Structure 1
């Protein structure tokens, strides 16, 4: 189903992005990224593989230039308008790569049908000289002329990762609203993960997320807290505007994995935020923070069984999938998630060792989890499938069973294992629907892209497009002190460096629009210039295109 976010309420945004979906945390703390082999290029190259596996969303790392420059993973953000496009903090790229490479990652993820969720920090900034003063380079590389400078009055206190914003400041609110709006338009994302949300007052965050393009974004917050506090934060404090990572459930799953068979499986019944508000719960078995600080060392398989067959919006950790050897296990569970695990949850059995629950939608699935390390368990449980129906175990480990005259099934769950019973021979494959992306290139003195200059072509940006697809542009530009002969000029050059389109627009043009078909797959250079103008021309170039899937 295509996501027409403009047409729906916030509640509908949540249901669309999370429905029958699985998110991948597309990075980890020590992920290797160099200028020669940037992480953005790795994500682009693997986007088709991820979509085919069943991932419907990609959570990408922080994108802003940070205090530690190319060494930083992005959690010490410095400049709100530097995506790896200004020569600051000793580098042009961020740790993960350049703005051009980042925009290609988003575009290729969209071409492979995935949503893109951006890791965003709006709680603090870092990198001043000890004076709480921040100034940035502009598009010409001039120090102190960049947009959204900050001073001592814009911060309230310090915490381990930088200066916490003064959330009572209108200047801070206006600046973050504008910069986050610019960020969404520049990349074409579908969601945010809000880092360190506990530092941000409810009202400030609600206000921020109600502005411009932000109000169309799915949002999930990071808040390490108990179920009651977390529920109050998202349900009452944010009026369900955001979901939350389910840390209480993660803690319970970690206890199960480390319990060596002594964990009480009844603790999973309605555990965590998932048990209180499944529509707001983003469930996970591990992430980059927990893996570094409180890792689940072994027996994580049942944790993934639970999050990928339960309600909520499951998130898979990169290292679990690609590094820790769990790919085949998770792939099978993602198939079960997409093919079978639909509808509300009914708990059918719970004791110290065995938990059985059922997703009662169509076709639905009965899931049994046994944490006893030595012994299998056999029990008769109620199902929604009706009387005398044959059921197949999609975990691949147990023989078919048949419900009795009351719709009950006798199932056997192996030691430290699971079963997933549903109607036989379900056929399913993840459907990849390619989407185009719209990315805006804003040219202005105080940003990272030069305005249109008189008689001089300057780079506006790059896009990575699929042969035969439409390249559509919509450009707004200022006309300050224009003469009748003044013009804004645009051109696009193809992968062979030959100009494929060049246009001149005068002061009478309301909005510069047009389209061409991409003659080849590859990088396209967008350039702007001006003719017979008294001063550089600010512009907003919206480029819609479709990237290749591979």
Structure 2
């Protein structure tokens, strides 16, 4: 069970191509114990609600009240399984002290049951404030009657008055962004200003200006809390939803559930941190995914040695608003062949994992696809599958669980070699030193881990760098890593040997041996060399060996 003094770490338990075999909740139940042991404290599950088909990932939301319980849209289970299996998986999470966050798709509804005729006006796709024709009657699937559920849990039925827009005129077989006309209608004002007004995204866009819609959503949210015991929501498509409504919803949940810590994180997909900061000014009740940091990682992976690692956090949310940032490397939208594809290069994944998991700020979220792997798009395209890095991520997560605590000193003083020290706290006093290189040369950092560690021998718990580091009487040591790699240095424990994560190729092994032989020969050399080492320490302590 997670200890109250441990770091919090989130795990996104799905990727876009997770098999539509209705077994995913069973997989979660089976993996909970392992995930808890390596330090995961919260699970973000995919949208558990019934989508428009048995293969729907969950973002084509049809019926929020159907979590694999009713025979609707092609079957009883969702892509991930049945309601009972979901509840069993959540109960297993609770046994291990793991919190559960539902992915809530509140922006739109898809695959309506019946058509209606009503007035609407088409707007320009690149500026939704501009009407491109006169209002006229269209025919659209905006009636949601949920015949398979027959009013269980809620007898609310949706019609066109509950939506602000739609994208398909069934009579004319015409696709456009249609703004629905009527009393108190129109797109929300408190949304992102991209395309003039980005309230409308897809399908039937939910109108939170309608009081009955707000009441229905409140009722559903509290049902999720009471029926399943969830601990938070991940809000999909946040920049397309009224910020005022989302702020109200979380205030309502926290009040009604008597849980001030009910968690919320939103997908506000903007590269500019100023856009994220502006949203937080209007809605401080929610965390945001650090999208700018993700793009920094993607750029660092592509640019290699030309990327200045001292700037890795520049323009990120974790730098400007660390208490509001959920940091991540990739997710289901950035993986290959998806709409926001910007997958971080594999060589940079270990560095990125250390940067989000082993530092003081941010709430890190690890992606299922990075950990377990990404399935092939289809059976006839096996080359699209991507293997997971379970062992590597597990080791870094274990370092977060056991060592990454307390004060932090940064050594961000070289464009290709950076490092930092975590000094531990009263519950985890051992400390941790991290050093990484994005160049084709090995690097080292002379870092101070504290006089209390004088005389200790430290080792790389990744198993990459085989030689040892000796802490001198003032607390300084020379911590190495290989080229394009990261090493995590901790005190050597008797009887504890860290196996190497992801064995290198024979060519890499030969290069590593040469690098370590050179390092041993120059272990006492305090002069700078030409292989990418840092030039000086960036904290305020003076190195007595210089």
TM-score of the two chains, using structure 2 as the length reference: 0.69
**Uncovered stretches (5+) of structure 1, i.e. residues with no partner:** 4-15, 429-550
Q: Which among 325, 342, 359 is matched to residue 294 of structure 1? A: 342
Structure 1 residue 321 displacement after superposition: 1.1
Contact residue 435 and residue 444 of structure 2 kept, 8 A? no
- Count residues with an aligned counterpart: 407
Higher mean alpha-carbon deviation, 270-279 vs 94-103, is at: 270-279
Q: Which among 306, 319, 324 is matched to residue 262 of structure 1? A: 306
Contact residue 136 and residue 147 of structure 1 kept, 8 A? no
Distance in 2 (CA, whole Å) between partners of 1:271 and 1:337 is: 24
> Does residue 238 in structure 1 map to residue 283 in structure 2?
yes
Contact residue 47 and residue 112 of structure 1 kept, 8 A? yes
Q: Which residue of 2 aligns with 1:155?
A: 163
Q: Which residue of 1 aligns with 2:230?
A: 189
Q: Which residue of 2 aligns with 1:508?
A: none
> Does residue 339 in structure 1 map to residue 433 in structure 2?
no
Change in CA separation of 1:418 and 1:216 when aligned onto 2, cut-off 3 Å: closer
Q: Which among 193, 206, 209 is matched to residue 247 of structure 2? A: 206
Q: Which residue of 1 aligns with 2:470?
A: 402
Structure 1 residue 329 displacement after superposition: 0.8
Structure 1 residue 354 displacement after superposition: 0.7
Q: Which residue of 1 aligns with 2:390?
A: 327
Question: Secondary structure at 1:366's aligned position in 2?
Answer: strand
Change in CA separation of 1:417 and 1:297 when aligned onto 2, cut-off 3 Å: closer
> Does residue 416 in structure 1 map to residue 484 in structure 2?
yes
Q: Which residue of 1 aligns with 2:132?
A: none
Provide, for residues 139-179 of structure 1, a one-character-per-residue CA deviation record: whole Å limited to 9, x for no partner. Answer: 5x479x95221222211224443222212221111110011
**Uncovered stretches (5+) of structure 2, i.e. residues with no partner:** 116-139, 167-199, 374-386, 497-546
In proportion to residue count, which structure has more strand? 1
Structure 1 residue 376 displacement after superposition: 0.9
Change in CA separation of 1:405 and 1:44 when aligned onto 2, cut-off 3 Å: closer
Q: Which residue of 2 aligns with 1:22?
A: 9
> Does residue 279 in structure 1 map to residue 323 in structure 2?
yes
Question: Secondary structure at 2:155's aligned position in 1?
Answer: coil
> Does residue 34 in structure 1 map to residue 21 in structure 2?
yes
Distance in 2 (CA, whole Å) between partners of 1:198 and 1:178 is: 23
Distance in 2 (CA, whole Å) between partners of 1:391 and 1:271 is: 37
Q: Which residue of 1 aligns with 2:210?
A: 169
> Does residue 315 in structure 1 map to residue 365 in structure 2?
yes
Provide, for residues 418-464 of structure 1, a one-character-per-residue CA deviation record: whole Å limited to 9, x for no partner. Answer: 22234443999xxxxxxxxxxxxxxxxxxxxxxxxxxxxxxxxxxxx
TM-score of the two chains, using structure 1 as the length reference: 0.69
Distance in 2 (CA, whole Å) between partners of 1:122 and 1:95 is: 19
Change in CA separation of 1:230 and 1:160 when aligned onto 2, cut-off 3 Å: closer
Contact residue 20 and residue 55 of structure 2 kept, 8 A? no
Provide, for residues 83-117 of structure 1, a one-character-per-residue CA deviation record: whole Å limited to 9, x for no partner. Answer: 11122222221111111111111111212321111
Q: Which residue of 1 aligns with 2:268?
A: 223
Contact residue 359 and residue 366 of structure 1 kept, 8 A? yes
Q: Which residue of 1 aligns with 2:458?
A: 392
Contact residue 60 and residue 117 of structure 1 kept, 8 A? yes
Q: Which among 140, 143, 147 is matched to residue 137 of structure 1? A: 147
